[in-house]
Every structure is written in structure tokens, then in C-alpha cells.
Amino acid sequence: MKKFNIIIKVPVADISFLPLDHPGANDPEYRERRNQIARAAQEFRENPEHIPTIPYTKVEKLTWSTAIEKLFPLHEKFASELHRNAQKKLKIPEKSIPQLKKLNEQIERLHGFQLAPIEGLIDSRSFLSALGQRTMLCTQYIRHKSRPDYTPEPDIIHEVIGHVPAFADRDMVDFSVLLGKLAKKANEKELKAIERIYWFTIEFGLLEEEGKLKAFGAGLLSSIGEIQHCFTDAVERKP
């Protein structure tokens, strides 16, 4: 495995701040756990040698399995073949939360792409520019146990179920890297356009397979509600 060349020197969102409508806002144990996992990611950024292994708790594993048991059947119905094939190739488990370190080793062997932990949200230029360096920045904490079907921010379910399988496909790797390279040198107007392309493809994109629309955006694939909602008449879909 090659050495990580990602260096993030911009402010990262304070993960300890949760709005009052966040499912875990009033759970001090959950907040401390998020902070603990975030500190591991911060240590990695300061010394990017080895991705930290997170010893997930029984509660966290249950949250994962509860969400995945509902998502995988929906993927069989709604997800693109591109995504389903990649997910099977990576052998993403249903009952246990996969470690980012192991997934990174698998992804890197396939197409030379890398995954790296990040403790919170960062600005879009930095996030996209990392893609241009063939690296996806991923959170490692998981959503609150009270809402395994929902998260107001990226978590390990969103990253691993939504994003990671795409990097087992060379075309998706090349597309992500291209957007990242463009974002790094774009002016503010151009950056907004690149953000929209990313949002309506990699995050919430649909594609056509054998005449049928299928989901391949990470925001759809990691959300029990969104993946069903996007195929209803309530959603406007544009080519």
C-alpha cells in the first residue's frame, strides 16, 4: 500500500456541535463516542501513516445491521447493476461494520484509489480536490441508534454503502478524479457548477440500464427513504 499523500490544512467542522433536531443531540454518551472517533481521524490527518481501526460497539453494530437489512433488499430492486456488482465484489458485510483500513486496501488494489478518515465536514473545494488526488475522505462514526434509517450528515453507512462501491469501478474512479482536478483550480463560479455536477451524479444520480432508471448516487443508496422516494411522481427527474 502506498503512503497517503493527502494533507488537509483547512478547518474541519466541529463534530461536537449538534443542532437540537439531530437524533443524538441530547445523548451525551453518543456525543462523546463521536468525539472519540473524530479524534482518531484528526490524529491520522496529523500523521497519515495508518488508518485507525475503530472497535465498534454492540450498539453501533446493531445500528449498522438494522439499516443494512432494510437497504440491501431495496438495492436489489432500485440500485444500478454497477453498484450491486461492486458491492458484491467488496463483500460488504450485513452484520458487522467494515473497517475503513480493509476497504482501502481492497479499493487501492483495484484502481489505485484510496480512502482516508476525516473527522467532519470540510469545504467543498478541499473535499473535491482530495478526489483529484485519488482519495475519498470518509467519516467513521455511525448515526444515532434511535434513527438507523436516517442521518443528517455523512456517516459510515453513507460512506461505505453509498460511496465506496463506486471506487471498485474504473469509470467512476476516473470521473471522480476528473471532478477533483477541475475543482482544485476552478474559480468560484466554476466550483459551484462542479458542485452541482457532483451533487446530481455521485450524490443523487440516476442512470439508465436496459431502458430502466436505476439509482447510483450515494445519497440515494444509503437512505432507506430516499432510494424509494426518488422513483415516485413527487420527484422531477431530468436527463
Which residues are marked as active site? 158, 163, 203, 222
Q: Helix (H, G, I), strand (E, B), or coil: what is residue 73?
A: helix
Distance CA 137, CA 11 (A): 14
Does residue 124 contact residue 191 with C-beta atoms inside 8 Å? yes
Q: Read off the amino acid at residue 68.
A: I
* The three grid cell numbers given for residue 138, joined into one nine-digit string: 470518509
DSSP H or E segment with residue 215:
strand 212-215
Q: Read off the amino acid at residue 79.
A: A
Q: Helix (H, G, I), strand (E, B), or coil: what is residue 15?
A: coil
DSSP state of 51: P
Q: Helix (H, G, I), strand (E, B), or coil: what is residue 71?
A: helix
Terminal alpha carbon distance of the chain = 39
